[in-house]
């Protein structure tokens, strides 16, 4: 399959003026799947009501089909067609954080969304992304859009359009090329089907940010949960091919030719060898989240690389999601 590449970088503010916009929207309506930017990571978008589209998503990614997809919407009114907002607390959190990097697991209405992804479930995760391009695509198509991260299953999620092309060229109908993402790791997922709510996957919207809207509404994310709430959290994830090893503070670090390091930029002068960014400093969690997957991919692409060192960060409310993804990548191999 020839994969179309639609570079919309000069049309971000008004996508309706992009010459091929009709082609993109028609592709979604015709149940094709396409890579699209969101503020968290690039997604592989398809009509969530279509078995054909959902099947294409699973096949292109090589993703286990027992791992349910997140449904993306343009506006809250769309939810009632396929899910319920269970209480006012959920609504307050949606008002506070949407559009933005958080997904809510809600009770699902039967027989609306594709049975291929949603048939075995009685809940569905829903997200309203804030990325300008994503919002315009959701508005113009006005479909509930299923979109997992647009990577080959098991690889780090894509934060640049070129990551999507590297993984999925020839396997999907098209890719909407926009700028690198703003956040860099996948959305926070919270389960609103029982109270207090649970964090199924930590993200840029942190526990304390949620608590600040409705105190006591959320129980902490539990790293050691035997049965993860989000099925996706049990899979090998985010991992590079090389062995990834965490390192603590150091004075100097001399790397071998088959080794690389991922570290905050203000530590780079201490390192001899291939080194990739992870934010500006240990205090720059936002920057570290933005750099993580790109640096993992870049380091992994070096010729004959065997070991990648990555600097550990202090565990705080803000760094929870960063550490969660780093730990998964480290344990991946």
Q: Which residues bind ligand TXA (CB under 6 A)?
A: 38, 40-41, 43, 67-70, 103, 105, 121, 123-125, 127, 129, 147-149, 186-187, 189, 200-201, 229-233
Q: Among residues 72 and 264, whose Cβ is nearest to ligand TXA?
A: 72
3-state SS of the chain is CCCEEEECCCCCCCHHHCCCHHHHHHHHHCCCCEEECCCCCCEEEEECCCHHHHHHHHHHHCCCCCCCCEEECCCHHHHHHCECCCCHHHHHHHHHHCCCCEEEEEEECCCCCCHHHHCCCCEEEEECCCCHHHHHHHHHHCCCEECCECCCCCCCCCCCHHHHHHHHCCCCCEEEECCCCCCCCCCEEEECCCCCEEEEECCCCCHHHHHHHCCCCEECCCCCCCCCCCHHHHCCCCCCCCEEEEECCCCCEECCCCEEEEECHHHHHHEECEEEECCCCCCCHHHHHHHHHHHHHHHHCCCCCCEEEEECCCCCCCCHHHHHHHHHHHHCC
Stretches 59-67, 146-154, 221-229, 301-309: which one binds Mg ion (CB under 5 A)? 146-154
Find the shortest distance in angstroms from Cβ 169 to Mg ion. Answer: 18
What is the rounded distance in angstroms from the CA atom of residue 161 to the CA atom of residue 181?
Answer: 9
38 binds, among Mg ion, ligand TXA, none (CB under 5 to 8 A by kind): ligand TXA
Find the shortest distance in angstroms from Cβ 254 to ligand TXA. Answer: 37
What is the rounded distance in angstroms from the CA atom of residue 275 to the CA atom of residue 253?
Answer: 10
Find the shortest distance in angstroms from Cβ 263 to Mg ion. Answer: 25
Q: Among residues 25 and 54, whose Cβ is nearest to Mg ion?
A: 54
> In the structure encoding, which two tokens stand for residue 330, read together?
């480290």
Q: Among residues 235 and 253, whose Cβ is nearest to ligand TXA?
A: 235
Closest CA to 182 of 199, 165, 204, 163: 204
Stretches 50-58, 142-150, 160-168, 288-296: which one binds Mg ion (CB under 5 A)? 142-150
Cβ burial of 142 (10 Å; 0-12, 13-18, 19+) is middle
103 binds, among Mg ion, ligand TXA, none (CB under 5 to 8 A by kind): ligand TXA
67 binds, among Mg ion, ligand TXA, none (CB under 5 to 8 A by kind): ligand TXA
Find the shortest distance in angstroms from Cβ 235 to ligand TXA. Answer: 8
Cβ neighbour number for residue 275 with a 10 Å cutoff: 21
Q: Among residues 140 and 255, whose Cβ is nearest to ligand TXA?
A: 140
295 binds, among ligand TXA, Mg ion, none (CB under 5 to 8 A by kind): none
105 binds, among ligand TXA, Mg ion, none (CB under 5 to 8 A by kind): ligand TXA
Q: Among residues 204 and 263, whose Cβ is nearest to ligand TXA?
A: 204
147 binds, among ligand TXA, Mg ion, none (CB under 5 to 8 A by kind): ligand TXA
Q: Among residues 209 and 302, whose Cβ is nearest to ligand TXA?
A: 209
Find the shortest distance in angstroms from Cβ 126 to ligand TXA. Answer: 9
Find the shortest distance in angstroms from Cβ 63 to ligand TXA. Answer: 8
50 binds Mg ion (CB under 5 A): no
Among 38, 47, 50, 149, binds Mg ion (CB under 5 A): 149
Find the shortest distance in angstroms from Cβ 301 to ligand TXA. Answer: 22
Residues that bind Mg ion (CB under 5 A): 149
């Amino acid at each position: 399959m020839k994969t179309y590449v639609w570079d919309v970088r000069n049309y971000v503010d008004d996508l309706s003026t992009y010459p091929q916009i009709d082609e993109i929207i028609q592709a979604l309506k015709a149940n094709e799947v396409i890579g699209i930017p969101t503020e968290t990571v690039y997604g592989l978008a398809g009509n969530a009501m279509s078995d054909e589209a959902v099947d294409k998503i699973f096949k292109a990614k090589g993703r286990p089909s027992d791992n349910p997809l997140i449904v993306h919407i343009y506006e809250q009114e769309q939810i009632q067609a396929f899910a319920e907002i269970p209480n006012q607390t959920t609504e307050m959190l949606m008002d506070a954080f949407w559009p933005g990097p958080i997904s809510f697991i809600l009770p699902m209405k039967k027989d609306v969304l594709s049975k291929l992804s949603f048939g075995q479930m009685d809940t569905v995760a829903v997200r309203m992304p804030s990325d300008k391009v994503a919002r315009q695509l959701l508005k113009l198509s006005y479909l509930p859009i299923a979109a997992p991260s647009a990577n080959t299953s098991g690889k780090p999620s894509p934060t640049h359009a070129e990551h999507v092309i590297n993984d999925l060229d020839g396997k999907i109908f098209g890719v909407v090329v926009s700028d690198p993402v703003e956040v860099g790791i996948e959305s926070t997922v919270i389960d609103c089907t029982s109270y207090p709510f649970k964090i199924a996957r930590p993200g840029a919207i942190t526990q304390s940010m949620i608590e600040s809207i409705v105190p006591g509404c959320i129980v902490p994310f539990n790293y050691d949960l035997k049965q993860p709430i989000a099925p996706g959290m049990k899979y090998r994830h985010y991992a590079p091919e090389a062995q990834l090893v965490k390192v603590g503070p150091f004075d100097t670090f001399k790397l071998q030719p088959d080794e690389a390091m991922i570290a905050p930029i203000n530590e780079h002068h201490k390192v001899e060898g291939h080194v990739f960014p992870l934010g500006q400093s240990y205090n720059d969690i936002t920057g570290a989240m933005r750099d993580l997957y790109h640096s993992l991919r870049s380091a992994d692409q070096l010729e004959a690389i065997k070991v990648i060192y990555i600097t550990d960060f202090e565990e705080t409310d803000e760094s929870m999601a960063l550490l969660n993804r780093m730990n998964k990548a480290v344990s991946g191999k």
